[in-house]
Amino acid sequence: MEQRGAAGRNWLLVLEGMPDPVLRSRDFTRRALTAWHWLPAKGQAAREAAEDVVLLVSEVVANACLHGGGPGALVLDWTDERLRIEVTDSSPTPPRRPADRKGGDPRQPGGHGLMIVDRLARRWGSRPGVIGKCVWLEVACPAALGGGPPAPRRSRGWS
């Protein structure tokens, strides 16, 4: 795990070759949310926001595993207004919702991760990378947090 950016607001987890990347991404996200005082959540809205973030991370990392040749990295970037989640993978193909795919039936199980992302994220998209792509999404910062994270502890990694 690496922290980079202002006041510990940007966390990076390299996932390439890591066993159980979805589980590790959820644990990493919970640690970041705890450091930023999203957890333990005070109030139902803040608790739901934190649960949504963990679910969204799970979905985009799982999609990278299933459709992107495996995840490369997870970045969590927090400002007072929003949390941005980025997951890289090795496939250049942009993500598509099941309803956008030829022959896809949205009533069938599986393949609905992007529908969840559509519902829970404020906005999302993808951009080409040097190798593959980056899928990103943003969620609003819970109002209950009111302000920034605590001062960072020094750690290895970017600063």
The CA distances from residue 26 to 12, 40, 59, 134, in Å, are 13, 15, 10, 18
Number of Cα atoms under 13 Å in the Cβ half of residue 43 = 9
pLDDT at 42: 76
pLDDT at 108: 56
How far from chain centre, in Å, is Cα 74? 7
Top-confidence residue, 102 or 53: 53
Rounded-to-integer distance, Cα 18 and Cα 3, Å? 18
Q: Token digits for 54?
A: 């963990």
pLDDT at 155: 34
For the domain covering 2-145, report its CATH number.
3.30.565.10
The proportion of the chain whose per-residue pLDDT surpasses 90, expressed as a percent, equals 59
Rounded-to-integer distance, Cα 86 and Cα 138, Å? 9
Q: 3-state SS of the chain: helix, strand, coil percent to 5?
A: 35, 25, 40
Rounded-to-integer distance, Cα 71 and Cα 16, Å? 6
Q: Is the pLDDT of residue 140 over 70?
A: yes
Q: What is the spatial order of strands in the sheet that 2-4 belongs to?
A: 2-4, 10-14, 71-78, 82-89, 133-140, 123-128
How far from chain centre, in Å, is Cα 15? 13
pLDDT at 111: 63
Q: Which of 4-18, 21-35, 101-115 has the lowest mean pLDDT?
A: 101-115
Mean pLDDT for the stretch of residues 108-116:
73
Q: Is the pLDDT of residue 159 over 90?
A: no
